[in-house]
Amino acid sequence: MKLKKTAYTFEQAKVYDVTRFMSPSGRAIHNMELSLLKYFLKFTSTKKNILEVGCGTGRLLIELFKLGYLVEGADASKNMLKKLLEKARLLKIIINYKHLESANLKIKKKYNFVYAIRLLNQTESKNYALKSIKEMIRITKPGGHILAEFVNVNRPRIGRNSTKTTRLSHKIISEANFSENWGCTIIKNKGLFFFGMGSIMATPTLFINIVVKFDKLLSTLFPRYCSRGYILLKKNDKK
């Protein structure tokens, strides 16, 4: 299958962290994502044998590494992986990573927990995104967990949210799990960025913490209407 090139270029990789996560609002967004990822990781009983698909520059992967998690990475962009390697060298840590497409991971190893954040919306189509989730399930051990984050198709396309991107929903993933016999049980649905990341980016520094608190509250109450959705699946044990 011929793939549309969606991986980050050298120039994009070089400024990825600086332009997105170094400002007060960018750090707030990063912390919101990291906090929710840590919440989902509590569903697994181990800190070992974890894989981030679409790890990019290691923004989240390295944070987990510092917390004692043994996390490997996979990404389709060699340029983003180079930035990950640079970070790892500065921190004097060793990160295992692979240069692979998310819908064709070519990994035989089985993991306890596989997750993807800010990946599925970057893929070329809904079908490709669903194939990526299916691949994540394939490389997960029976009884292990899979976390998929996505841009929510149910969210009205307003402002920055009108950007063309691949969109899914809790329902779309749930129906694919059933109709394609993925062999998983849905454990949890969550949402994040009820106001949208663009709104947080536009918030004056003085009010960011207040906006973040309200966003978290509304995201908890109305997860299916947030701009970003999270779904946690558990791979069924083999009979």
**Residue 5 placed within a domain:** no
- The pLDDT-based confidence of 7 (bands split at 50, 70, 90) is low
Structural domain of residue 221, as residue ranges? 10-235
CATH of the domain at 223: 3.40.50.150
pLDDT one-digit tens code per residue, 128-156 = 999 999 999 999 999 999 999 999 999 86
Instruction: Determine the average pLDDT of the residues in 82-104.
Output: 95
pTM comes to 0.92
Residue 3: inside a domain: no
Tell me the C-alpha distance between 139 and 127, whole Å: 19
CB atoms closer than 10 angstroms to residue 207: 9
| CA 64-66-69 angle, 5° bins | 50
Structure tokens at 136: 């994540």
Asked if the structure places residue 115 within a domain, the reply is: yes
On whether residue 106 sits in a domain, the answer given is yes
Residue 1 lies in a domain: no
**How many independent structural domains does the chain possess?**
1
Beta bridge partners of 233: 146, 186
pLDDT per residue over 185-239, tens digit each?
999 999 999 999 999 999 999 999 999 999 999 999 999 999 999 999 999 997 5
User: Rounded CA gap, 48 and 111, in Å?
Assistant: 9
122/184 Cα distance (integer angstroms): 24
Query: Quick check: is 14 in a domain?
Result: yes
Q: Which residues contact 199 (CB under 8 A, 6 or more apart)?
A: 211
Question: Does any domain span residue 2?
Answer: no
Is the confidence at residue 3, as pLDDT, over 50? no
pLDDT at 1: 37
* Region of 209 on the Ramachandran plot (φ > 0 left; ψ -120 to 50 alpha; else beta): alpha
Catalogue the E-assigned strands of the chain.
50-53, 71-75, 97-99, 111-116, 140-152, 167-168, 184-192, 228-235
**81 in a structural domain:** yes
Cite the DSSP H helix spans in 92-207: 126-138, 170-179, 197-202
- Mean predicted lDDT score pLDDT of the chain: 91
